[in-house]
């Protein structure tokens, strides 16, 4: 029996410009859920293949012709694409199973497009769903407490390109920011043993991966554990050319940790700065002080760790001037990249519940839930103004001259990548402005 897993990508993400931008931004990687579930099924004797749409077009009539079951991953911004594919395969009389973070928040919606939906982390139930032992349309899968018993993702199943191995050494996050989806989907916070992670890393070294990402929502949540792991990586020579990770500003309080991160080539980090307005940070329960942000920004350069600064646009307590100050700050600290994320009330989060109850949602078209579109009525400015602030943030942050500053601090490759991002962002903004001018049904015109 053949099972094909698909990780969809929204239409905009499948355009050439986006794919070029993605290649400059970082190295291609894969969502690990389907690779883990795929391995469980492969070990039961099924023939499994996994396809990701993000980096490569997929010829479905070729790869799915002999498939019996199609498993589709969903995140919110790709949900409509996932449903489009699901409907297509069901018309071909294939059995369709849907899972992932969006379907886990909206199972009743997903089941309209599938034979079965799995809610939550799928490891415990996938084999029984596929074999037909579990037959309810919506199957609730409890999360696994001991992460060490979960098999490693099987990259041999992945039939689309992928340059870096994604490793999750933990699931969830001990914090609970009100806009965050992952800390709710992956609950409670759990850690794998160091030995188990090291064994997985050995496999990727052996397989020849040059790049690796720690995709933990908060890799340095437990600093002592992170240090232990980094020491083991160093002593065993499990160092990759470049390793990306997600962190919080509090990691900068620990100089030993910073040294180890640098030595182990964990040299690119996405940090949620969110806002320099303490009231805003407190309002989303970020549990982060402005002083942490400032201190963190100063020390990262010293350890040559490039910061992808993530800021949230549209928090209730932030004025236009606050948002602009956040962008200026990210430029000033020479952040390597900027991720200006428009506040997005993902289903299943407290912020979504709040905005629904306050009648502030302006759309539930999931394709807009990509952190680049305004989906709710902001408090201090109009929706249209907020959308403009997003464009403005990109235009102000990426500039020709700042690429050379980045080159000076982080070296030639980083400088060229930054230059590339400047070019791509300019082309993107230009095309967008043209589209807004020409196309009367551009999303921008729907905003008040």
Q: How far is the CB of 184 from ligand B12 (least distance, A)?
A: 9
- Residue 197 Cα to chain centre, angstroms: 21
Q: How far is the CB of 404 from ligand B12 (least distance, A)?
A: 26
What is the rounded distance in angstroms from the CA atom of residue 100 to the CA atom of residue 110? 10
Binding to ligand B12 by residue 114, rule CB under 6 A?
no
What is the rounded distance in angstroms from the CA atom of residue 13 to the CA atom of residue 20? 10
**DSSP assignment letter at 137:** S
Pairing of strands 190-191, 170-171: antiparallel
Binding to ligand B12 by residue 346, rule CB under 6 A?
yes
Binding to ligand B12 by residue 52, rule CB under 6 A?
yes
Binding to ligand SF4 by residue 352, rule CB under 6 A?
no
Write the binding mask 55 to 84 for ligand B12: x where contact by CB under 6 A, - elsewhere.
----------------xxx-xxxx------
Pairing of strands 95-99, 116-119: parallel
Q: Which of residues 173-192 bind ligand B12 (CB under 6 A)?
A: 181-182, 186
Picked from ligand B12, ligand SF4, none, the partner binding residue 230 (CB below 5 to 8 A depending on kind) is none
* Part in contact with ligand SF4 (CB under 6 A); list of ranges 172-180, 301-309, 315-323, 388-396: 172-180
3-state SS class at 400: helix
- Pick between residue 49 and residue 404 the one whose CB is nearest to ligand B12: 49
Query: What are the residues facing 70 on neighbouring strands?
Result: 4, 96
CA angle 104, 52, 155 (to 5 degrees): 95
Write the binding mask 206 to 225 for ligand SF4: x where contact by CB under 6 A, - elsewhere.
-----------xx-------
For residue 25, what are the contacts with CB-CB under 8 A and spacing of at least 6? 337, 417, 421
* Part in contact with ligand SF4 (CB under 6 A); list of ranges 58-66, 174-182, 365-373, 377-385: 174-182
Binding to ligand B12 by residue 89, rule CB under 6 A?
no
What is the rounded distance in angstroms from the CA atom of residue 110 to the CA atom of residue 130? 17
Binding to ligand SF4 by residue 177, rule CB under 6 A?
yes
- Residue found by looking up tokens 């849907």 in the block: 98
- Pick between residue 32 and residue 178 the one whose CB is nearest to ligand B12: 32
What is the rounded distance in angstroms from the CA atom of residue 282 to the CA atom of residue 361? 22
For ligand B12, which residue of 200, 215, 318, 389 counts as binding (CB under 6 A)? 215
Binding to ligand SF4 by residue 175, rule CB under 6 A?
yes
For ligand B12, which residue of 123, 242, 250, 292 counts as binding (CB under 6 A)? 123
Q: Provide the strand spans (E) within 332-432.
A: 337-342
3-state SS class at 308: strand
Picked from ligand B12, ligand SF4, none, the partner binding residue 173 (CB below 5 to 8 A depending on kind) is ligand SF4
Q: How far is the CB of 246 from ligand B12 (least distance, A)?
A: 7
Picked from ligand SF4, ligand B12, none, the partner binding residue 166 (CB below 5 to 8 A depending on kind) is ligand B12
- Residue found by looking up tokens 């969502």 in the block: 31
Alpha helices, H only, 253-369? 255-263, 278-283, 290-302, 320-332, 350-357
What is the rounded distance in angstroms from the CA atom of residue 261 to the CA atom of residue 267? 7
Compute the residue count for the chain.
448
**DSSP assignment letter at 142:** P
Picked from ligand SF4, ligand B12, none, the partner binding residue 33 (CB below 5 to 8 A depending on kind) is ligand B12
78: which 2 tokens? 């790709």
Q: Contact at 8 Å (CB) between 346 and 406?
A: no
Binding to ligand SF4 by residue 176, rule CB under 6 A?
yes
- Pick between residue 261 and residue 371 the one whose CB is nearest to ligand B12: 371
Residues that bind ligand B12 (CB under 6 A): 5, 7, 9-10, 13, 29-34, 36-37, 52, 54, 71-73, 75-78, 97-102, 118, 121-123, 166, 168, 181-182, 186, 215, 217, 346, 370-372
Residues that bind ligand SF4 (CB under 6 A): 173, 175-177, 180, 182-183, 217-218, 248, 272
């Amino acid at each position: 029996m053949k099972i094909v897993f698909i990780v969809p990508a929204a239409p905009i993400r499948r355009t050439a410009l986006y794919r070029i931008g993605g290649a400059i931004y970082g190295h291609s990687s894969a969502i690990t859920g389907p690779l883990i579930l795929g391995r469980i099924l492969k070990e039961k004797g099924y023939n499994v293949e996994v396809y990701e749409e993000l980096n490569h077009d997929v010829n479905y009539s070729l790869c799915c012709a002999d498939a019996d079951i199609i498993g589709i991953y969903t995140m919110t911004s790709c949900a409509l694409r996932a449903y489009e594919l699901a409907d297509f395969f069901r018309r071909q009389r294939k059995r369709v199973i849907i899972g992932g973070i969006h379907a886990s928040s909206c199972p009743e919606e997903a089941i309209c497009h599938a034979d079965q939906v799995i809610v939550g982390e799928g490891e415990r139930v996938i084999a029984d769903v596929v074999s037909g032992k579990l037959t309810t349309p919506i199957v609730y899968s409890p999360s696994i407490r001991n992460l060490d018993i979960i098999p490693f993702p099987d990259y041999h199943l992945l039939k689309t390109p992928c340059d870096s191995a994604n490793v999750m050494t933990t699931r969830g996050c001990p914090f609970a920011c009100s806009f965050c989806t992952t800390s709710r989907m992956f609950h409670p916070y759990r850690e794998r043993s160091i030995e188990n992670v090291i064994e997985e890393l050995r496999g990727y070294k052996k397989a020849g991966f040059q790049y690796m990402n720690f995709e933990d929502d908060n890799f340095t949540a437990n600093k002592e554990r992170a240090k232990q792991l980094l020491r083991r990586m160093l002593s065993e020579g499990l160092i990759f050319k470049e390793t990306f990770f997600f962190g919080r500003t509090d990691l900068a309080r620990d100089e030993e940790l910073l040294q180890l991160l640098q030595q182990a080539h964990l040299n690119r980090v996405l940090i949620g700065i969110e806002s320099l307005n303490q009231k805003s940070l407190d309002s989303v329960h970020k549990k982060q002080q402005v002083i942490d942000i400032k201190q963190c920004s100063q020390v990262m350069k010293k350890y040559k760790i490039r910061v992808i600064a993530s800021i949230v646009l549209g928090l209730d307590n932030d004025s236009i001037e606050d948002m602009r100050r956040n962008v200026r700050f990210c430029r000033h600290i020479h952040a390597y990249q900027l991720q200006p994320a428009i506040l997005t009330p993902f289903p299943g989060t407290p912020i979504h519940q709040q905005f629904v109850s306050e009648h502030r949602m302006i759309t539930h078209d999931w394709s807009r839930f990509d952190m680049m579109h305004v989906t709710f009525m902001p408090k201090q400015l109009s929706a249209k103004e907020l959308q403009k602030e997003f464009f403005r943030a990109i235009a102000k942050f990426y500039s020709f001259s700042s690429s050379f500053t980045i080159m000076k601090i982080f070296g030639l490759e980083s400088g060229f990548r930054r230059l590339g991002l400047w070019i791509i962002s300019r082309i993107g903004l230009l095309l967008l402005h043209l589209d807004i001018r020409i196309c009367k049904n551009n999303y921008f015109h729907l905003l008040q």
